[in-house]
Structure 1
Amino acid sequence: MDPKNDSRSKRYSAPSHRLRNIIFAVITVIVLVIGLFAWQAIHNTKGALDKSYAGAGLKKSRDVSDVIKSGRPISILLYGTDTGELGRTYRGRTDSMMLLLINPKTEKTTLISLARDAMVSIVGYENTFPQKLNAAYAYGATATSIKTVESFLNIPIDYYALVNMGGLSNMVNQVGGISVKSPIDFTYSQETAHDYGPNLYRFHKDSTKFEHSDDNGKTWSASRATMDGDAALAFSRMRYDDPNGDYGRQQRQRLVLEGLIKKSANISNLLNDKFMSTISKNVRTDLTFGDMTTMASKYIKAKNNIVTEHMQGVGESYPDAEGNNVSYEVIPQHEKQRVTDLARKALGLQAAKTGLPYGGEVPANLSGIATSLRPAGDNNANETTTPKTTQ
């Protein structure tokens, strides 16, 4: 299916049960956890991991084989899809995007949520501007996603991991559930995407305890402190009642990810046939078995110090070809520079200028529109030359 044949309004309309942002990373990180923290046991799972391998389809911006063998910090672009099984023909959009930066020298892992609605010019498809960052995969698959993120932030992407988010619930269940402290009070039903309906969950601020109701809140279960897969999804999905909107949801999703990483440290919870079968069906990555075993010996301590961040944008709308207003996040250059500085420092790279305002170059006939959509006073909004990446 050609994404050009689908209007932006249709491509970006919210499905009723969409999993957002960091949810997909939970599944991906388990793959990485196996590679990082289970050197001996991983040999028993090589066959399943090999099934998850798929090349990125482009020449990387640096020699990733040398990077990982020498134990230098690495970057992994994590993203998830919302269009069904990984074997499908239509690529679809990526529902969630995140940078995973692992630095074995500082023994720190940095997770940066990327704004899926960030307004960009997709590399190789600049004439379709404006687009959302998560549309890059629909146009050109993994290679285009990597190129666009690299151009947007001026950082190298070493590897990728693509996840079918349908397997998340099983992942959480197979590690015995996770315990997460909620930053806010809220009630949420995945069936209605609101604070009422069947399969209702109630979470409490500054507490790991929650309750469940099957009768729209008339009666509640006893409090529990360990989320199963369904509870974790409910905790991660709620958006509209969060005072911080999508950014608040990203925070809760990062908490889920951290909780799962901690629980996954007990590798005996992970290494079973059913679990590995789920991994092979729901994950695609260009990390090879050899890469993972190298990571196991050189990057293991980075799991003990996890730092989470996100990219903050400014809400903007622009009509699509049919005249329907589409909501975007326009990322100011100073905010992009902050994220670039953070990422490059985490990767042990020299400081450098962030990428073009929209990633790819904007065609001359659309430059006026591009400039008008920048936040007031945004610096370097009129740049047209891609900065040279310093590795």
Structure 2
Amino acid sequence: MNTAPQEPLPPRERHFSHSGKLKRIILTLLACLLIGGGLYGWYALHQAKTTFSKTYHALPTKPNDLALTSGKPFAVLLMGTDTGALGRHSVGRTDTMIIATINPKRQTAKLTSIPRDTLVDVYGSQQDDEKINAALPLYGPETAIKTVEHLVNIPIHYYVLINMGGLEKMINAVGGVDVVPPLTFHYEQANVKKNQKIHLNGASALAYSRMRDDDPLGDYGRQIRQRQIIKQLVLKEAGLSSVAHYQRVLGSLKDNMQTNLTFQDLLWLRTKYGHTSRHVQSATLQGKPAVINGIDYQIAPQTTIDQVSKDLRKALGLPVNVQFQTDALDPTGE
């Protein structure tokens, strides 16, 4: 056996050998990071799905599964209750009701506010002269949806009900929102000046969206600020690229939200329709103050209701002068 010592590699050959080993180490580390990142991403999504599944509450009339994936316009009723924060825990009336219409082809979204004191006939109720914000606590989300459908003559397939505690946590989860206030005021944690951009955390954004007594426009002014917060919140959420951040946002909704949108629906909306959040229009069903039996109401003239209905139906790509039937609704519009 030849036991003579091997000659060392020439300097250039030794360099290439070390370089190849270094590349293999780097590639191995990258592979481990990719696999680990994939596993973490899967775990985070699984956890987010588990968390979000607790918010799912189907309606008796389930939307067609193609309602979102068909690419046709659709509407979501956003409802907010003043519970879950500030020590309030009872099932309250809907302080916020906003119809969100999304048109994927036009890449637009429209937020139409309905004043909480709007006088309506609550769907299925024998009682006249009722405020629209009573529909949810009296009869549940399906009745609230049908009441709004009949008021403005459009089909609404989805709803999202969130309390103020959930809104506060969700805003914190995305790192706060930036707004340009339409007026100067100081209310609870909100201290803002007109036309001066300000960054709001969850508590200050909640106060910003709740104040109405010091607003010259009253509840209508509050609706403007509510739509500001929602728009900025959606923009911030759409910009989140990290799975961990997205998981944190969904986690903030635990026990604070109820919806008939599934987790898959939510991912689809975020992936396919996220761009519409940059083209958001705002509107309000404007009423006139009235007192009936000692109770304050907002009564929207029929001409105003008709105009809002036409605008909403156009946004949804529906014939303007056709009366729709909620009980014979095809979510795909076919």
TM-score bracket, normalised by the shorter chain, equals 0.7 to 0.9
Q: What letter corresponds to residue 222 of structure 2 in structure 1?
A: R
Question: 2-side partners of 1:290 and 1:339: how far apart?
Answer: 31
Q: So what's the TM-score if we normalise by structure 2?
A: 0.77
Query: Structure 1 residues 93 and 236 mapped into 2: Cα distance closer, same or farther (>3 Å)?
Result: closer
Question: 2-side partners of 1:49 and 1:318: how far apart?
Answer: 42
Query: Per-residue displacement from partner, 1:290-337 (whole Å, max 9, x unpaired)?
Result: 323333453232122111111100101111xxxxx1100111111111
Match of 1:97?
A: 97
Match of 1:348?
A: 317
Aligned runs of 1:71-220 on 2, under 5 Å? 71-84=71-84, 91-125=91-125, 127-188=126-187, 190=188, 201-208=190-197
Match of 1:277?
A: 251
Query: Structure 1 residues 296 and 273 mapped into 2: Cα distance closer, same or farther (>3 Å)?
Result: closer
Query: Structure 1 residues 145 and 318 mapped into 2: Cα distance closer, same or farther (>3 Å)?
Result: same
Of the candidates 51, 59, 65, which is equivalent to residue 56 of structure 1? 59
Of the candidates 32, 46, 51, which is equivalent to residue 49 of structure 2? 46
Question: 1-side partners of 2:259 and 2:215: how far apart?
Answer: 33
Computing the radius of gyration from Cα coordinates, the structure with the larger value is 2
Q: CA RMSD in A?
A: 3.0
Of the candidates 234, 254, 259, which is equivalent to residue 261 of structure 1? 234
**3-state SS, counterpart of residue 76 of structure 1:** strand
Query: Structure 1 residues 52 and 204 mapped into 2: Cα distance closer, same or farther (>3 Å)?
Result: same
Q: What letter corresponds to residue 178 of structure 2 in structure 1?
A: S
8 Å Cα contact 2:83-2:89 kept in structure 1? no
Task: Judging by fraction of residues, say which structure has more helix.
Answer: 2
Of the candidates 207, 216, 219, which is equivalent to residue 234 of structure 1? 207
Aligned runs of 1:22-41 on 2, under 5 Å? none
8 Å Cα contact 1:337-1:353 kept in structure 2? no
8 Å Cα contact 1:91-1:137 kept in structure 2? no
**3-state SS, counterpart of residue 268 of structure 2:** helix
Shift of residue 105 of structure 1?
0.4
Q: What letter corresponds to residue 255 of structure 2 in structure 1?
A: K
Query: Per-residue displacement from partner, 1:33-87 (whole Å, max 9, x unpaired)?
Result: xxxxx99975652111211110123x26xx54232221111111111223559xx
Shift of residue 91 of structure 1?
4.8
Question: 1-side partners of 2:152 and 2:224: how far apart?
Answer: 21
Q: What letter corresponds to residue 173 of structure 2 in structure 1?
A: Q
* Residue 302 in structure 1 maps to residue 276 in structure 2: yes
Question: 2-side partners of 1:292 and 1:264: how far apart?
Answer: 12
Give the total of aligned pairs: 287
Stretches of structure 1 that go unaligned for 5 or more consecutive residues are 1-37, 191-198, 209-224, 320-324, 356-384
Match of 1:328?
A: 297
Stretches of structure 2 that go unaligned for 5 or more consecutive residues are 1-40
Question: 2-side partners of 1:288 and 1:79: how far apart?
Answer: 17
Match of 2:67?
A: 67
**3-state SS, counterpart of residue 261 of structure 2:** coil
Q: What letter corresponds to residue 256 of structure 1 in structure 2?
A: I
Q: So what's the TM-score if we normalise by structure 1?
A: 0.66
Query: Structure 1 residues 49 and 229 mapped into 2: Cα distance closer, same or farther (>3 Å)?
Result: same
